[in-house]
Amino acid sequence: MRSGQVRSSHVTLTLFLAVAVLSAAPGGGANRSSLQTGPASTAETFTSPPVLQNTSAKPGVVELDLTAAPSRVEMVPGKPATAWAYNGTVPGPTIELHEGDTVTIHFHNKLAQTTTVHWHGLHIPAGADGSPLNPVLPGGSQDYTFKIPAGTAGTYWYHPHPDMTTTEQVAKGLYGALVVRPAQVADDPLAGIRDRLLILSDNRFKADGSVDFPEHMSPDSHVDAENGREGDVLLVNGRTMPAISIRPGELQRLRIINASAARIYRLAIAGQKLVHVGSDGGLFAAPREENELLVANSERVEILVRGGAPGTRVVLQSLPYDRYDPHTRPADWNQPRDLLELRTSTDAPVAPMTVPAALRAIQAIDTKLVAARRTIVFSQGLINGKAMDMKRVDVTSRLNTTEIWQVENVVAMDHPFHLHGFRFQVIDRDGVPEPYVSWKDSVNVPKHGKVRVAIRFEDFPGKWMFHCHILDHEDMGMMGILLVR
């Protein structure tokens, strides 16, 4: 166990799964707060992406091969169509790493477009970040080499980050999960709890099962450009409305990634508390009980759920959330959407499982000595009144200093802020202090809202991106370059 971790005190959290009405169709629409009686299947239909295999036999060394290429994939069941996939699967294979690992990922671009692979949320050298500053040309290859720092165990993800075409490449299937685990199993305070990965995405499909994009300059394309691309089909690990089986009384850990281009998920289980144990940069200092959780695109959350009475079911939903410009808000924005069914089996209850009252030590960034205070203004398609210029540096910061950035959203729709390479801590939102300390790399800035964050620029000089993570907005130039030197 590393110093600073507290493992001695435990508390039993009472999150039991109750019976809920199910939708007649996957992803269907009405609120499921009332009870349903009668027999129900407790079989599991949930699937996880395959884990990318390490080809190195050396301890602490990870060597992986990853290829982006056109592939025939059933993104719609029973309708194989051409997608763009990592190693032939959508989502791509899950990359599992450990703190302290030295990693080399041999990436091959077999697309007809330039691409990159961005390791979203990792604190690694600028040359390995996969930003648009380091493109991989069609037919080209790139070795991404980096070391996983201590203290960053958590849930991350990877996706393309080319200049101006990220939305298309992600929508066609290029995204996957990256999980960093502690160096030793004993260093994970939640070891022994079953670990599940949920990659949330949405998409639109044609009748033949291929991805549907609006015609260029059509009214629908203007709506996508304004709101960010949303799809009417909601997916978990590439499937609609899968079911997870859980034993009565069993705890399970759900690692949730929002890989959608623009959709924000307001997660809830009717009548239940969500036990929130982590976010972008890993576990919190202590668990928190919440009625619901807002997960902006590119954010991650970790929650715990517990099996209820044998044979009962509940649904994890995304409740209505108005992130939209009022002129292009979709008509069905106020309808809840079903994501995942949790089925309590008829097995014998498991022995009582407890959750540590303390998960890990997190030290707040010291803001007594601040090198700079900056204001980053988000307007529609612009940052500080400017569109992206790959040859321009927008912010210059010094290595081994702390800064406070205030991100201001001056328009009537939400914009999520993402910083490459460096984690930050939220200080306050609209002047209200953040009630707990956590590590973040993305944060939603609501319409006409302000969020202040503290950033410590440790290690890794170079050029880094910061941007709105609505992918259409990023592609249109709502992005800037940070130089750390």
Q: Does 421 map to a domain?
A: yes
Q: Examine the domain organization and report whether 151 and 80 are in the same domain.
A: yes
Q: Does 55 map to a domain?
A: no
CATH number at residue 109: 2.60.40.420
Which of these three, 184, 203, 229, is where a domain ends?
184
Q: Does 476 map to a domain?
A: yes
Q: Examine the domain organization and report whether 122 and 222 are in the same domain.
A: no
User: Residue 106: enclosing H or E segment and its boundaries?
Assistant: strand 102-109
Beta-strand ranges (E) seen in 319-440 are 337-344, 355-356, 372-379, 382-383, 395-397, 402-409, 415-419, 424-429, 432-433
Q: Does 3 map to a domain?
A: no
Q: Examine the domain organization and report whether 259 and 406 are in the same domain.
A: no
Q: What is residue 41's predicted lDDT score, i.e. its pLDDT?
A: 63
Q: Examine the domain organization and report whether 167 and 312 are in the same domain.
A: no
Question: Any idea what DSSP says for residue 128?
Answer: G
SS (H, E, C) 170-201: HHCCCCEEEEEECCCHHHCCCCCCEEEEEEEE
Quote the CA–CA distance of 260 and 171 in Å, as a whole number.
8
Q: Examine the domain organization and report whether 206 and 287 are in the same domain.
A: yes
SS3 222: helix
| DSSP codes of every residue in 427-482 | EEETTEEPSS---BSEEEE-TT-EEEEEEE--S--EEEEEEE-SHHHHHHT-EEEE
* 370 CB burial (10 A radius; 0-12, 13-18, 19+): middle
Residue pair 44/28 in contact by the 8 Å Cβ criterion: no
Question: Any idea what DSSP says for residue 169?
Answer: H
Quote the CA–CA distance of 226 and 188 in Å, as a whole number.
42
Q: Examine the domain organization and report whether 388 and 422 are in the same domain.
A: yes
SS (H, E, C) 47-86: CCCCECCCCCCCCCEEEEEEEEEEEEEEEECCEEEEEEEE
Tell which residue, 135, 132, 130, 175, has the closest CA to residue 156. 175
Q: Examine the domain organization and report whether 96 and 175 are in the same domain.
A: yes
Tell which residue, 374, 404, 399, 384, has the closest CA to residue 483. 399
Regions of the chain short of the pLDDT cut 50: 1-40
| Cβ atoms within 10 Å, residue 269 | 22
Quote the CA–CA distance of 29 and 472 in Å, as a whole number.
26
Residue pair 131/160 in contact by the 8 Å Cβ criterion: no
Q: Examine the domain organization and report whether 339 and 450 are in the same domain.
A: no
Q: Does 125 map to a domain?
A: yes
Q: What is residue 33's predicted lDDT score, i.e. its pLDDT?
A: 28
Residue pair 289/277 in contact by the 8 Å Cβ criterion: no
Q: Examine the domain organization and report whether 214 and 336 are in the same domain.
A: yes
Q: Domain tally for the chain?
A: 3
Q: What is residue 353's predicted lDDT score, i.e. its pLDDT?
A: 85
Q: Examine the domain organization and report whether 149 and 198 are in the same domain.
A: no
Domain coverage including residue 432: 372-484
Cα Rg of the chain, angstroms: 22
User: Cα angle at 143 between 140 and 148, to 5 degrees?
Assistant: 150
- Find tokens 């390791």 and name the residue: 119
Q: Does 235 map to a domain?
A: yes
For residue 303, the cross-strand partners are 254, 276
User: Residue 227: enclosing H or E segment and its boundaries?
Assistant: helix 219-227
Q: Does 363 map to a domain?
A: no
Q: Examine the domain organization and report whether 212 and 340 are in the same domain.
A: yes
What tokens appear for 195 in the block? 């670990």
Quote the CA–CA distance of 43 and 261 in Å, as a whole number.
31
Q: Examine the domain organization and report whether 459 and 331 are in the same domain.
A: no
Q: Does 365 map to a domain?
A: no
User: Residue 220: enclosing H or E segment and its boundaries?
Assistant: helix 219-227
| Cβ atoms within 10 Å, residue 299 | 24
Quote the CA–CA distance of 140 and 111 in Å, as a whole number.
9
Dihedral, CA of residue 117, residue 439, residue 444 and residue 429, to nearest 10:
-160
